[in-house]
Amino acid sequence: MDDPLRDPWLPAMRLALAEAEQAARESDVPVGAVVLGPDGQLLATARNEREATGDPTAHAELLALRRAARALHTSAADPTPGTARTTHEWRLTNCTLVVTLEPCTMCAGAAVLSRVDRVVYGARDAKAGAAGSLWDVVRDRRLNHRPEVIAGVLPEECGRLLTDFFRRPRTGPADNPAP
């Protein structure tokens, strides 16, 4: 039976999975993310780019959040009547972060600080997850913003991509990234 909470997120998760697959082809850990705007429009897509850029913070979630904020900021500057945003905001209020793997502490913190309304993820990360598995940064009552968390959207597909990636033989540093 389909879960009504998860079904609306399937198309976005499939986009995130396509990003994750591209990351794997580029020898990076296959994690993909998308940010949906307040009306459900696609604001940004991203995949892990740590190996490609040599940047330890180039996680899919951070890149997607940055790109989404830039997209909203740019549309806010657009003088066209009827644009969705009218101020130069960095906040991603009413936006949704969709990611194939449960965010780590850095990415969970970024989701909180960006003020997304919800975090939707596919596979749990028992070793580093910070949206309920190992830690629960996004719902920590001590913080001023707590996004809704929707877990387990296409978890098998998201998890399989990671499992297959780490089972593949690798030969060098670019082929042997840490999770």
In Å, how far are 47, 54, 92 from 17, measured between CA atoms?
9, 22, 22
Give the H or E element holding residue 106.
Answer: helix 105-114
Give the H or E element holding residue 24.
Answer: helix 10-25
In Å, how far are 28, 95, 135 from 148, measured between CA atoms?
28, 11, 15
Which one of the listed residues 19, 49, 61, 102 is annotated catalytic? 61
Is 107 assigned to a binding site? yes
Q: Which two tokens stand for residue 39?
A: 């009306």
Q: Is 61 a catalytic residue?
A: yes
Is 104 assigned to a binding site? yes
List residues with catalytic annotation. 61
Known binding-site residues equal: 59, 104, 107
Binding site for Zn(2+): residue ranges?
A: 59, 104, 107
